[in-house]
Structure 1
Amino acid sequence: MSQRVRGVIAREKGKPVEVATIVVPDPGPGEAVVRVQACGVCHTDLHYREGGINDDFPFLLGHEAAGVVEAVGDGVTDVAPGDFVVLNWRAVCGNCRACAKGKPQYCFNTHNAKQRMTLEDGTELSPALGIGAFVEKTLVHAGQCTKVDPQARPAAVGLLGCGVMAGLGAAINTGGVTRGDSVAVIGCGGVGDGAVAGAALAGATTIIAIDTDDRKLEWARGFGATHTVNAREHDVVERVRELTGGFGADVVIEAVGRPETYRQAFYARDLAGTVVLVGVPTPEMTIELPLLDVFGRGGALKSSWYGDCLPSRDFPMLTELYRQGRLDLDAFVTEEIPLDGVEQAFAKMHTGDVLRSVVVF
């Protein structure tokens, strides 16, 4: 029997979000209903509201979430009612060409619940990243549920569902940061600070945080940055080279998604170094680089999707590191807010007052 719950929707492009009654159907084959306990407010949700993803309004927003499985549909064996889970937007298929090569973290056929949640009048909702978790209960594919230690704080581990995992994975999985490396991170929001934390976990000895906001640079120090650079006050490329013996960083992670910061990343890396783009550009953005420089500097230019993570592998491991005190996920949570505080949280993003606002039910 379907349930009626409260959730946050974006009804029209650019309009303030609203709390509405959401109809959640019983889970069908391969699906699960999850009682959401906490969900982070991510820039991606704002992009949905602004029409920057697509125009499939109305959207049910929210995707960085943790909660408890309430019910499962036929054929679900990996999770059961009562399991504490972090939701993900990469439910791997197991059958595509990437999965067949043993690289499910690149699955090209990820999937979501087949049924749609609706408004009371029957209007179908488009769930953000196939999740839609600014809601008391949500319907997802069971493969989007990853079991983690139930003793973990939902507001903290839920952030593994998107931004923090994207940053951590950009450093560890995509960038291959390892012991003794030098790393520069351009852009120190939630994703960038996740990259800083990931570099520290991997054993990097020089971690340079770069931003235009001194508050964000101070936050980055808390996650393990050994040096900070205010890009308004210094030439980023020259400063990174100064801090790395004149060579440039082994790995530069671009967490902004703009042509000018990507160019900084390209020239701030050492010869044979790696650039990782994890910031999301907009469709009209282009970049031009001298092809001789691309050839002559060697190394690798990579893009990182979701931190190239495999949720079933990475979420439990990172949750355990959090439980051991080795990964401070709590530090990403600037504030806990009620369900009707999402619009105000979007405003705080613009002013840089928060690292993450988290809706707590």
Structure 2
Amino acid sequence: MPQTVRGVIARAKNQPVEVVDIVVPDPGPGEALVAVQACGVCHTDLHYREGGINDDFPFLLGHEAAGVVEAVGEGVTDVAPGDFVVLNWRAVCGQCRACKKGKPWYCFATHNASQKMTLTDGTELTPALGIGAFAEKTLVAAGQCTKVDPAAPAAAAGLLGCGVMAGFGAAVNTGGVTRGDSVAVIGCGGVGDAAVAGASIAGATTVIAIDVDPRKLELAKHFGATHTIDPRSEDVVERVRELTGGNGADVVIDAVARPETYEQAFYARDLAGTVVLVGVPTPDLKVELPLIDLFGRGGALKSSWYGDCLPERDFPMLIDLYRQGRFDLDTFVTEQVGLDQVEAAFDKMHGGGEDVVLRSVVVL
């Protein structure tokens, strides 16, 4: 029988979100019903509300979530009722050209649940990133459920579902940071701090955090930054070079995605170094760089999709690091809120308060 639960929707562009009743079908073939325990409030959800993703309103928001599988549909074997899972928005198909090349983190045919969740009047909802987890229960493709150690608290574990994985993976998977490397991270919100932590855990000996907010720079030190730069008072490129023997960093990660930050990343890297873009730019932004500099500096310019992660490989590994005390997921959880406080959490993303908010987390 379909179930009626509470969920947070964005009904129209730039309108405040609403907590309403939604109808969640029983899982069909290849699907799973998940009782959501916690879901982080991510900038992507705000982009959906603002119409910055597409105009398929109404949206069922929320995607950075952990919970317990309640039921599964026909043919599902990888997860079972009672499993504690982190939800991911890239259910790997195993059949596309990327998967067959042994690069499933680039899967070109990721999939979501076939059935639609609806409002009580039958209006179909578009789940954010195919998940829709600002709800007491959600329906997803079973491949979007990654089983992890249930000893981890849901509020922390759920953050692996998007921002934390994106940042950590940008350093470790995309950037290939390894022992003795120098790394600079531009932008020290949740994604940037996860990149700082990933670089530190991977063995980087110089980890430079760059942000205009001194509070964020202090927090970045907690995650492993060895040096900090405030662009308001220092030249980013020159200072990175000073801190790396005059050479520039081996890997520079841009978690802001502005033309000016990308240019800083390009010139702050060492010759043949790597730039990783993990921040998500808006469609109107453009970068202009001299072609001779692109040629002459060599190296690699990379984009990081979801930290180039493979959820079944990376999520359990990060939970293990957390349980070993090597990766402090708890500090990413700035506050715990209810479903009716999502709009207030969006307001806090604009900053200006006394505290730095890495993540507000909805706890159900």
* Residue 339, structure 1, aligned to residue 339, structure 2: yes
Partner of 1:358: 361
Mapped pair 1:106 → 2:106:
yes
Match of 2:55 in 1: 55
Q: What CA distance in whole angstroms lies between the structure 2 residues aligned with 1:349 and 1:105?
A: 29
Amino acid at match of 1:52: G
Cα RMSD over matched residues?
Answer: 0.6
In 2, Cα distance between equivalents of 1:330 and 1:117: 31
Cα distance in 2 between the residues matched to 1:16 and 1:122 = 21
Match of 1:323 in 2: 323
Give the corresponding residue for 1:93: 93
* Matched letter for residue 39 of structure 1: C
Number of matched residues? 361
Write the distance in 2 (CA, Å) between the matches of 1:358 and 1:162: 13
2:233 aligned partner: 233
Partner in structure 2 of residue 297 of structure 1: 297
CA shift for structure 1 position 232: 1.1
The aligned counterpart of 1:152 is 152
Residue type of the alignment partner of 2:357: V
Matched residue, 2:81: 81
Aligned position for 2:174:
174
Cα distance per residue 1:132-167 (max 9 Å; x no partner): 000000000000000000111100010000000000
Q: Distance in 2 between matches of 1:87 and 1:27?
A: 16
TM-score (norm 2): 0.99
Separation of aligned partners in 2, 1:134 and 1:109: 25
The letter for the 2-side match of 1:146 is T
Aligned counterparts of 2:41 and 2:103: Cα–Cα separation in 1: 30
1:199 aligns with 2:193: no
The residue identity in structure 2 corresponding to 1:357 is S
Deviation at 1:210, TM superposition (A): 0.3
Question: In structure 2, what is the Cα distance between the partners aligned to 1:30 and 1:128?
Answer: 19
In structure 2, C-alpha distance between the alignment counterparts of 1:216 and 1:344, rounded to whole Å: 21
In structure 2, distance between residues paired with 1:358 and 1:102: 35
CA distance in 2, matches of 1:218, 1:49: 31
SS at the partner of 1:350?
Answer: coil
- 3-state DSSP of counterpart to 1:140: strand
User: Share of identical aligned residues, percent?
Assistant: 82
1:120 aligns with 2:130: no
Q: CA deviation at 1:233?
A: 1.2
Q: Partner residue of 1:46?
A: 46
1:21 paired to 2:3: no
C-alpha distance in structure 2 between counterparts of 1:46 and 1:329, whole Å: 22
SS of the residue corresponding to residue 350 of structure 2 reads helix
Inter-partner Cα distance in structure 2 for 1:233 and 1:22:
50
Q: Which amino acid aligns with 2:42?
A: C
The AA in structure 2 aligned to 1:8 is V
Distance, in Å, in 1 between the alignment partners of 2:12 and 2:231 is: 36
* 3-state DSSP of counterpart to 1:351: coil
Tell me how far 1:265 sits from its aligned partner: 0.2
Q: 3-state SS of the aligned residue for 1:112? A: coil
Deviations 1:14-57 (A, max 9, x none): 01111010100000000000000000000000000000000100
Secondary structure of the corresponding residue to residue 347 of structure 2: helix
Provide the rounded CA distance (Å) in 2 between the counterparts of 1:360 and 1:327. Answer: 21
Tell me what 1:286 maps to. 286
3-state secondary structure, aligned to 1:201? helix
- Runs of 4+ residues deviating >6 angstroms: none
What is aligned with 2:3?
3
Q: Which runs of 5+ in 2 are unaligned?
A: none
Q: CA deviation at 1:254?
A: 0.2
Residues of 2 paired with 1:262 and 1:173: CA distance? 19
Tell me the CA shift for residue 88 of structure 1.
0.0
Partner of 2:189: 189
Tell me how far 1:264 sits from its aligned partner. Answer: 0.3
Gaps of 5+ in 1: none
- SS state of the match for residue 27, structure 2? coil
Distance 1:191 1:22 in 2: 31
Q: Tell me how far apart the structure 1 counterparts of residues 217 and 126 of structure 2 sit (CA, whole Å).
A: 36
Look up the equivalent residue of 2:363 and give its one-letter code: V
TM-superposed deviation, 1:96: 0.1
Q: Could you tell me how far apart the structure 1 residues matched to 2:125 and 2:229 are? A: 43
| Distance of 1:133 and 1:240 partners within structure 2 | 40
Q: CA deviation at 1:119?
A: 0.3
For residues 152-192 of structure 1, what are the alpha-carbon distances to aligned partners after superposition, in whole Å with 9 as ceiling and x for unaligned? 11000100000000000000000000000000000001100
- Residue 341 of structure 1 aligns to a residue whose secondary structure is helix
SS in 1 for 2:295: helix
